[in-house]
């Protein structure tokens, strides 16, 4: 309570519905749980020194271009620059399997160095 009164506490209320915040936290911005992405973007936009989503994406794109990253691409999987398990770049391989009985196709990436694998139904 003392930290809140001294404004030393960091409070980010997550709002489950339209119920007003209690008086203790009424002057804080919150995140609407019905649209968390928009709520987080709005909250970040209210903070000093935090860039907008567009500027963060542009900075990420510039950083990737400066790093001369080689993308590992599979038509049905998000492009990757390294294995999320071990960070290796040369050991990612695309995979694809078909379940002929169900007529489903599954695709993903796997790392031959650490065994990480990810993917899903296409």
Residue keyed to tokens 């649209």: 35
pLDDT digits (tens, 9 = 90+) for 75-109: 777 778 888 888 888 888 888 899 989 889 898 88
The whole-model pTM stands at 0.44
pLDDT digits (tens, 9 = 90+) for 38-77: 666 665 665 556 567 677 767 777 777 787 777 777 777 7
- DSSP per-residue string spanning 25-43: TTTS--EEGGGHHHHHHHH
């Amino acid at each position: 309570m003392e930290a809140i009164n001294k404004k030393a506490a960091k409070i980010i209320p997550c709002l489950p519905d339209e119920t007003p915040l209690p008086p203790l936290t009424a002057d804080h911005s919150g995140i609407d749980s019905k649209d968390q992405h928009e709520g987080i973007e709005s909250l970040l936009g209210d903070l000093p020194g935090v860039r907008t989503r567009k500027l963060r994406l542009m900075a990420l794109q510039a950083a990737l271009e400066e790093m001369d990253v080689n993308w590992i691409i599979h038509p049905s999987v998000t492009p990757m620059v390294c294995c999320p398990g071990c960070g290796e770049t040369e050991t990612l391989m695309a995979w694809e399997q078909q379940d002929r009985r169900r007529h489903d196709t599954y695709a993903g990436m796997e790392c031959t160095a650490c065994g990480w694998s990810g993917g899903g139904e296409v």
